[in-house]
Structure 1
């Protein structure tokens, strides 16, 4: 086997392109760097170097794994979010850039120090860790029903040296035991209609169904979470929710029905409705 770095990358590109992976050269280069534990600039400076057969073998094992559709982020166990490198694995949804719109929308509210914020369905902790990083004077809580997801989120919390209280349970039920009255409840809940989950791109099929499947019309969790949020928020408290691109009217209607006012709909970078914010 030819183990020159440049040739290995070219062969990896061919395999990935043949399986329909977009940006195949970027991914092949990244996977070889991950195999060698090299930064990109080190790779570029050593393109003619010959690698060990064991290193080349490991590289092609990762290429084959990626060829199946297994997400790149799960292979490298990292995803960038709000400028923070987060650990991810198949126990948690891979944070998307669309969710940065949710975080940015909250930060723009410029809520005061001492704000009590609760992230419901925290997953990797992307939202909670970002809020704790950019608003260190807030009191951040993060809830997830999955113990393994909480382990990932706690790891990201420690990695970025922020303070977050983690609670395991279903939606806002864990707060009932500690009688907490938050000023902000934020969530990126599962919102894909059940019938559409299997039609999503193959990479998404490797992500946890619990974090994707929102029931028949994608709104099941909103119908449960929004009333809970209204009952527990302080007066003038905020609810901030990520939504599917075609769900703004439905989610806004649920918020209004439960008593939320001043409903705001915020678009993502593709100009799709992505966030609904309401005030109690």
Structure 2
């Protein structure tokens, strides 16, 4: 027999020993998911004795987390920009730092009223955040994986967001010639193939194709920057999320291609995270 409180305490200790960065939160989220209860249940009923069936179901989830599997994949959901998004192992898990890209995109989007493109959309997190904030703007999200396109479309439908649509294909290939966007955003693969962090933490379980790029992690950024020129309206903006040590390199890429007002912005941890530039020519 074990109460809610005892179960949480025991799981928290085990997760702490396993190296989780947020053991008590992980335990709470997993128990709520297995019981199909809100977080308030844990505080309201700490002395409630859990049924053996519920304990067994929770233990299965806990064992997966103890092996390092991300909580978001276990429960199939992650919140981003206050939007509950379904996630799967075919997509990256949306992270808080990416909300900085959304903030900057919202700032720049007020300058023009054309459509917006999100490349490598994954769960649709960035596209749906922007579409939810600007219901009068059309947002397109593209992902190489058809499973991601289906997942993002499902997220849009569940959230009742009707001004975002999702396509599958490699970068710009699904778009018709002559299509122009006021804003192109991307959180592309940007981790170097030899980066030791790829064998640590949650990243071990995420799709390598969405994480790793050649040329020290800059190959996809360079490709997008080169080809975005043909899809940007005059005065349109291109912006990337990238690694904290890549700001100078991305500035160099955009500047060398003729983008103007190129600048790198910090994330919430005061690390270089988003670089953007404006396209001034037809």
- Tell me what 1:195 maps to: 194
| 1:103 maps onto 2:102 in alignment | yes
- Tell me what 1:126 maps to: 125
- Tell me what 1:258 maps to: 257
Deviation at 1:111, TM superposition (A): 2.3
Instruction: After superposing the two structures, state which structure 1 stretch, 50-59 or 9-18, moved more.
Output: 9-18
Distance in 2 (CA, whole Å) between partners of 1:191 and 1:275 is 12
Q: Is the 8 A contact 1:197 1:213 kept in 2?
A: no
Deviation at 1:31, TM superposition (A): 1.1
Given the two structures, how large is their TM-score scaled by the length of structure 2?
A: 0.94
Distance in 1 (CA, whole Å) between partners of 2:197 and 2:244 is 18
Distance in 2 (CA, whole Å) between partners of 1:73 and 1:180 is 35
Distance in 1 (CA, whole Å) between partners of 2:117 and 2:53 is 47
For residues 100-130 of structure 1, the C-alpha deviation after alignment (integer angstroms, 9 at most, x for no partner) is 1111001112426742111000001000000
Q: Is the 8 A contact 2:5 2:42 kept in 1?
A: no
- Tell me what 2:33 maps to: 34
Deviation at 1:160, TM superposition (A): 1.7
Q: Is the 8 A contact 2:109 2:182 kept in 1?
A: no
| 1:225 maps onto 2:224 in alignment | yes
- Tell me what 2:141 maps to: 142
Distance in 1 (CA, whole Å) between partners of 2:110 and 2:199 is 37
- Tell me what 2:5 maps to: 6
Instruction: After superposing the two structures, state which structure 1 stretch, 74-83 or 192-201, moved more.
Output: 192-201
Q: Is the 8 A contact 1:230 1:259 kept in 2?
A: no
Q: Any gaps of 5 or more consecutive residues in structure 1?
A: none
Q: Is the 8 A contact 2:112 2:182 kept in 1?
A: no
Distance in 2 (CA, whole Å) between partners of 1:262 and 1:65 is 47
3-state SS, counterpart of residue 183 of structure 1: strand
- Tell me what 1:69 maps to: 68
Instruction: After superposing the two structures, state which structure 1 stretch, 134-143 or 19-28, moved more.
Output: 19-28
Q: How many residues are treated as equivalent by the alignment?
A: 278
Q: Is the 8 A contact 2:142 2:167 kept in 1?
A: yes
Distance 1:240 1:151, change over 3 A: same
Q: Is the 8 A contact 2:72 2:87 kept in 1?
A: yes
Deviation at 1:216, TM superposition (A): 4.1
For residues 189-237 of structure 1, the C-alpha deviation after alignment (integer angstroms, 9 at most, x for no partner) is 0000000166452211101111100124000101211110012211111
Instruction: After superposing the two structures, state which structure 1 stretch, 121-130 or 192-201, moved more.
Output: 192-201
Q: Output the aligned Cα RMSD.
A: 1.5
Q: Is the 8 A contact 2:109 2:183 kept in 1?
A: no
Distance in 2 (CA, whole Å) between partners of 1:110 and 1:142 is 16
Instruction: After superposing the two structures, state which structure 1 stretch, 199-208 or 82-91, moved more.
Output: 199-208
- Tell me what 1:158 maps to: 157
Distance 1:136 1:111, change over 3 A: same
3-state SS, counterpart of residue 235 of structure 1: strand
Q: Is the 8 A contact 1:115 1:183 kept in 2?
A: yes
Q: Any gaps of 5 or more consecutive residues in structure 2?
A: none
3-state SS, counterpart of residue 21 of structure 1: coil
Distance 1:135 1:66, change over 3 A: same
Deviation at 1:22, TM superposition (A): 2.4
